[in-house]
Structure 1
Amino acid sequence: MKRADVDISALLAAAEEVSPSEAMSAAADMLRRSLGVQWATFLIADAAGNTLVDHQDPGSRFRLDGTDPGRAWREQRTVHDGNGRAYAPVTVRGDALGILAVELPPGAERDAPRGDDGELDPATAGLLAAVAHALGYIVVANQRHTDTYETAMRSAEFSLAREIQRRLLPLGFVCEGGSFTIAGWLEPSASAAGDTFDYVASADTLTATITDAVGHDLNAALLATLTVNALRNARRRGADLTEQAHAANTALLAHGEADQFATGILLEIDLRSSGDEHGSSGRTTARVVNAGHPGALLLHDGQVSNVAPSNNPLLGVHEHEFRTQEIELYPGDRLLLMTDGMFERSAAAFDLAGALRDTADLHPRNVAQDISRTFLETVGDGVQDDAAVLLLEWHGGSTRRSTSNGADDAR
């Protein structure tokens, strides 16, 4: 394999010179020529969170568990299968979009020095990691203009309600933001209900919400649309947390039916108050509005406790002055928000607090998916209600994100 650095400008140009649907194929072809590999392709993580799919050949799939591409995705490192193929994670700010798969040229394995762990030598692995990181931004940019990647992600057809519901979710389910990492996941029921989660990081504030609109199918999706966009509209006008809750409540009262309402938790953290690595302990205070929603779980020093119980009526029931409550967060703490689908009767055997405690050493991205997977194994195929989770890990000022390839190197 060629040792010269890949010309990132040429890589971007190759992606720009073709239709957005062909951007990754063009980039892969350019990599084949510049790296001297036999072939290169992009494996995209599917919407169900179980497999990696070749975006050019949706029939070609690799499970996340028990395969080399899946190991590269979960561990966020370049993996060599020993048979001439290497897999590097395509990740942006911790959001694992997929895998760059390449077949090394004949003799490359024999000629290249190996690392201590038997994988590719550090120089080759580092080059593939850097290229894969650049590919992540190509994916993000081109997803806006084509359905190619979205379609490849789907292992089953979406109902109209689920299509609407998916559009309400943030574009990235994971974000590493320096002082925090946040990861969400939604497991829809057969008749998609109105569960959603959202987050946004501004220069000085992290805002996160998780909401559950009453009902199922299209009516729930439409009610969720009203709720989420009322919250976003207020937030983008500069409204504070209670004003955002008031805006959603007013919108539901004005436009919803008498029996239509939503529950929700709204959370806000002042990112300027976390100190720095040379200053304070990194402790911060999260402000929370809970409108008729299940409380949160807080993992602190290995112990899980219930926090943020409901302290306001549901959204859309009557006029109300919304009240906040506070949660103290220390570096290393994890806060799990969830919808009531996680507590449906068939999930009674699911120890959610235990799952949060037992996964403390995993990246929040993997925790959110593993909790969802364990939930599905517990309830079986007949999920009666949507189940959504949003996990926040607070790093504070005591740590800083360290990355060269799209994910925090410390995890």
Structure 2
Amino acid sequence: MREVRQGALLLLTAVAGAAVAACDLALGPDVSLAGLLLIGPLVAATRLEGACTAVVSFAALLLGVAVAGHEHTLARTDQLLSLTVLAAAAAYATWASDRQAALDNQLAGVAAAAQRAILRPTSFRVSGASVCARYRSAAPRAVIGGDLYAFADTPSGLRVLIGDVRGKGLEAVRLSAAAIGHFRDCAYTRSNLAEVAEEVDRRLIDDLGPEDFITAVIAEISPGRLRLVNCGHHPPLHLPAAGPPVLLTPSEPTTPIGLLPLPRVQEVELAPGDRLLLYTDGLAEARDPDGTMLDLAGLLPACSLPDLNDAIEAVLSTMCRHTHGAQDDDVALVLVELEPSMPRQHHTPTTPAVTRTSAEPPGGLADRAGCPSSSAAVSD
């Protein structure tokens, strides 16, 4: 897409330059429009890379010289002045384009380094659970996003945050770091999971702009019990050791952090060997070249691999195959497994891995929202 936009802009500057030259020739030697040829290089400097800007600038200068030569006005003082200004502007446009590209690359490198420091790949065992987390950025030239995850081993259980900051670049990374810091503090000082979300929202007021927000899921995992607060985020995927997978969609959705959420706690029973996949929209909205979104049901064989590290890498590989390697958004994944009492069985692609119900949402997964037999929204 970037190459298409650059090609279209190059074509536009060429057409504009040719039109200026044609008008100059039509008006005769008494009128000089060489100054209008500056438009191409200056526009290119703001939208194109240095090499493309240099091509546009050189072409504009050649057009000016060619028109002046055709009209035999090269020796005129005003024409020489116009061409000199054009040459100087072309040189400046090329320099400015190169400088801006260098600054963009530097900022992208800083943002990427900050993001890697915040979202380091991790695997650990704590509180009767194994945890594996991964972050994968989009294409190298893409702008860094605001995906985030964090963990806190508290007396109430393992608390997990996964979220996505609206926006891109260093500002998104800054907000991610702020959200993680506030979560880690609140996770240890608030016993109620809804209070954690409310306190994080309150503390982020000074950090968030008027249009900023963070979609997030805060989970608390303790023996036999999962508690969730969903603030406008994609629902986690519950993968029971025995039974069909379920999307844990909240019965009463709330707004993202930064938009005054009214979080309610959702409770789900867990058994040894159960797994929980938390993810950001880079996975949920991954598309193939035809625009078809990734079916989460297609992740089940990957998620059921016995080793947790192998499983989360297989999820990323499945996504990459679906998108043909054209990843448009960052992806953060957290995969949690309760300590199993026996080895987990691996689902092969030919094994029916989902249970279809009348309440099944798009994607082929059963939806547990508002189902009294398996989950309930409670005021913890």
Q: What's the TM-score, normalizing by structure 2?
A: 0.55
Structure 2 equivalent of residue 316 of structure 1: 258
- 1:217 and 2:217 correspond: no
Q: Once the 2 structures are TM-superposed, how far is the Cα of residue 323 of structure 1 from its aligned partner?
A: 1.3
Structure 1 equivalent of residue 266 of structure 2: 325
CA offsets per residue over residues 13-43 of structure 1, 9 Å max, x none?
A: xxxxxxxxxxxxxxxxxxxxxxxxxxxxxxx
Structure 1 equivalent of residue 229 of structure 2: 289
Runs of 4+ in 1 over 4 A off after TM superposition: none
Matching residue within 275, 290, 306 for 1:334: 275
Name the CA distance, whole Å, in 2 between partners of 1:240 and 1:359.
30
CA offsets per residue over residues 315-354 of structure 1, 9 Å max, x none?
A: 0013x44211111111121111111111225253533333
Q: Measured at CA, do residues 251 and 214 of structure 1 come closer, stay the same or move farther in structure 2, by a change above 3 Å? A: same
Q: Which has the higher helix share?
A: 2
Contact 1:226 1:251 in 2 (8 A): no
Structure 1 equivalent of residue 8 of structure 2: none
Q: Once the 2 structures are TM-superposed, how far is the Cα of residue 363 of structure 1 from its aligned partner?
A: 1.1
CA offsets per residue over residues 277-305 of structure 1, 9 Å max, x none?
A: xxxxxxx1111100000001111225222
Structure 1 equivalent of residue 135 of structure 2: 186
Name the CA distance, whole Å, in 1 between partners of 2:217 and 2:127.
23
Structure 2 equivalent of residue 351 of structure 1: 295
5 Å matches for 1:154-193?
159-169=109-119, 173-177=122-126, 179-189=128-138, 190-193=142-145
Structure 1 window deviating more from structure 2 (288-297 vs 179-188): it is: 179-188
Q: Once the 2 structures are TM-superposed, how far is the Cα of residue 380 of structure 1 from its aligned partner?
A: 3.5
Q: Measured at CA, do residues 359 and 236 of structure 1 come closer, stay the same or move farther in structure 2, by a change above 3 Å? A: closer
CA offsets per residue over residues 259-286 of structure 1, 9 Å max, x none?
A: 110000000123xxx3xxxxxxxxx111
Contact 2:127 2:158 in 1 (8 A): no
Name the CA distance, whole Å, in 1 between partners of 2:127 and 2:230.
26
Matched letter for residue 336 of structure 1 = L
Q: Once the 2 structures are TM-superposed, how far is the Cα of residue 178 of structure 1 from its aligned partner?
A: 6.3
Q: Measured at CA, do residues 242 and 386 of structure 1 come closer, stay the same or move farther in structure 2, by a change above 3 Å? A: same
**Unaligned regions of 5+ residues in structure 2, if any?**
1-106, 344-380
Q: Once the 2 structures are TM-superposed, how far is the Cα of residue 209 of structure 1 from its aligned partner?
A: 1.1
Name the CA distance, whole Å, in 2 between partners of 1:168 and 1:240.
26
Q: Report the 3-state secondary structure (helix = DSSP H, G, I; strand = E; otherwise coil) of the residue aligned with 1:303.
A: coil
Name the CA distance, whole Å, in 2 between partners of 1:238 and 1:359.
32
Name the CA distance, whole Å, in 2 between partners of 1:205 and 1:399.
22
Q: Once the 2 structures are TM-superposed, how far is the Cα of residue 216 of structure 1 from its aligned partner?
A: 1.2
Q: Measured at CA, do residues 172 and 342 of structure 1 come closer, stay the same or move farther in structure 2, by a change above 3 Å? A: closer
Q: Measured at CA, do residues 378 and 172 of structure 1 come closer, stay the same or move farther in structure 2, by a change above 3 Å? A: closer
Structure 2 equivalent of residue 237 of structure 1: 189
5 Å matches for 1:131-150?
none
Contact 2:277 2:336 in 1 (8 A): yes
Matched letter for residue 315 of structure 1 = I
Q: Measured at CA, do residues 206 and 217 of structure 1 come closer, stay the same or move farther in structure 2, by a change above 3 Å? A: same
Q: Report the 3-state secondary structure (helix = DSSP H, G, I; strand = E; otherwise coil) of the residue aligned with 1:244.
A: helix
CA offsets per residue over residues 18-69 of structure 1, 9 Å max, x none?
A: xxxxxxxxxxxxxxxxxxxxxxxxxxxxxxxxxxxxxxxxxxxxxxxxxxxx
Matching residue within 260, 282, 285 for 2:212: 260
Name the CA distance, whole Å, in 1 between partners of 2:176 and 2:303.
31
Question: What's the RMSD between the two structures over aligned residues?
Answer: 2.5
Structure 1 window deviating more from structure 2 (387-396 vs 323-332): it is: 387-396
**Unaligned regions of 5+ residues in structure 1, if any?**
1-156, 275-283, 401-411
The structure with more radius of gyration: 2
Q: Once the 2 structures are TM-superposed, how far is the Cα of residue 382 of structure 1 from its aligned partner?
A: 3.4
Q: Once the 2 structures are TM-superposed, how far is the Cα of residue 381 of structure 1 from its aligned partner?
A: 4.0
Matching residue within 321, 325, 338 for 1:394: 338
CA offsets per residue over residues 232-277 of structure 1, 9 Å max, x none?
A: 121243554222211221133232111110000000123xxx3xxx
Contact 1:289 1:312 in 2 (8 A): no
